[in-house]
Amino acid sequence: MYKLILVDDEVQTRNALCNYFPWDENGFEIVGQCENGMEALEFIQKNPVDVILCDIEMPVKSGIDLAKELFADKHKIKIVFLSAFRDFEYAQKAIIYGVRDYVIKPIRYKEMVEVFARIRDELDNDILVPPSSHSDHHTVINDYNYNECVISEVIKYLENNYKDASLDGAAHDVHMSAKYLSMFFRDKTGRYFSDYLATIRMQKAAQLLKDIRYKTYEVALMVGYSNPKNFTRAFKSYFHKSPKEYRATGKSTRSSVL
């Protein structure tokens, strides 16, 4: 069993979380409850903890402050944030300090199962890493490499699956929730996931249009558009010319760099 603490200034929320979710069936044991980040730090100094499920806004020491301090001290504790707000600034800070996921209140049972299944998998994988890789120079996955690996995996997924690619599919590949990956991707690349996918599809479509064996509607289907009119509209918006015009000139007015 992995050891979990709940950190929330609302007693009712903590009690509900304790009773609402079958932690033991999912591989976790609640070993403590804290009202704020300061209490959580004091608890962690005296007790082993693997995971923190933590509210963001709390008195004395907020969830962000707690995550920041644990990040600075290079703790390997996994943190999942709870919040009643879909605030991108919060998500940005969560990503910077290595928070592994972000659950929006009111909490959905299915989402909790998915989030903590991913956390459990991460913890299982950490155990399998050779001890030498836990040194300061070779952490399990240091934060920079972790971010780079996630983005690299998402881009590889999009390039290999652009026809049927989805945010849910990419999230499954990198063991994140879809909404958290969406915020993570935007923070790390400066672009929306959907825009990046559209760019890849347009670039692939441009390559396919150079092959006269394919009709326009066939190209549309090959890059994930079931409606040829939607494809033509998207293509013209991206390249400033229709697929037919592009095929005639063989050149685009947009850079092919993603």
Give the chain's largest Cα–Cα span: 71
Residue 254 covered by a domain: no
Residue 258 covered by a domain: no
- Tally of domains within the chain: 3
Residue 93 covered by a domain: yes
Q: Do 102 and 12 lie in a common domain?
A: yes
Specify burial of residue 131 (Cβ count, 10 A radius: 0-12, 13-18, 19+): exposed
Cβ-contact 38, 46 below 8 angstroms: no
Residue 255 covered by a domain: no
Q: Do 165 and 65 lie in a common domain?
A: no
pLDDT value for 118: 87
pLDDT in tens, the chain (258 residues): 899 999 999 998 898 888 888 999 889 999 999 999 999 999 999 999 999 999 988 999 999 999 999 988 888 899 999 877 665 566 667 777 888 888 887 788 888 888 898 898 888 877 765 544 444 444 444 565 677 778 888 999 999 999 999 999 998 888 788 888 888 888 888 889 999 999 999 999 999 998 889 999 999 999 999 999 999 999 999 999 999 999 888 654 454 445
77-94 exposure pattern, b = at least 16 Cβ within 10 A, e = fewer: bbbbbbbeeebeebbebb
pLDDT value for 188: 83
Could you count the other beta carbons within 10 Å of the beta carbon of residue 216? 19
Q: Do 10 and 67 lie in a common domain?
A: yes
**Cα(254)–Cα(199) distance, rounded to whole angstroms?**
11
> How many angstroms separate the Cα of 199 from the Cα of each of 104, 158, 180, 192?
30, 10, 21, 11
Q: Do 48 and 125 lie in a common domain?
A: yes
pLDDT value for 256: 45
pLDDT value for 183: 84
Could you count the other beta carbons within 10 Å of the beta carbon of residue 53? 28
Secondary-structure breakdown of the chain: helix, strand, coil percentages, each rounded to the nearest 5: 60, 10, 30
Its domain, for residue 163, covers: 143-190
Signed CA dihedral, 188, 193, 199, 201: sign only: positive
CA atoms within 13 A on the CB side of 156: 8
Cβ-contact 84, 105 below 8 angstroms: yes
Residue 136 covered by a domain: no
Q: Do 161 and 228 lie in a common domain?
A: no
Task: Supply the CATH number for residue 238's domain.
Answer: 1.10.10.60
pLDDT value for 253: 46
Residue 130 structure tokens: 């050779």
Residue 256 covered by a domain: no
Among residues 105, 124, 99, 103, the alpha carbon closest in space to that of 114 is found at 103
**Cα(184)–Cα(190) distance, rounded to whole angstroms?**
10
Q: Do 186 and 233 lie in a common domain?
A: no
Residue 176 structure tokens: 């994140």
Q: How far apart are the first and last CA of the chain?
A: 44
Task: Supply the CATH number for residue 124's domain.
Answer: 3.40.50.2300
Residue 104 covered by a domain: yes
pLDDT value for 149: 79
Q: Do 6 and 55 lie in a common domain?
A: yes
Residue 26 covered by a domain: yes
Q: Do 70 and 113 lie in a common domain?
A: yes
**Cα(58)–Cα(65) distance, rounded to whole angstroms?**
10
Q: Do 174 and 243 lie in a common domain?
A: no
Q: Do 107 and 21 lie in a common domain?
A: yes
pLDDT value for 157: 92
Could you count the other beta carbons within 10 Å of the beta carbon of residue 51? 23
> How many angstroms separate the Cα of 163 from the Cα of each of 130, 156, 198, 200?
38, 13, 10, 10
Q: Do 185 and 91 lie in a common domain?
A: no
Q: Do 20 and 122 lie in a common domain?
A: yes
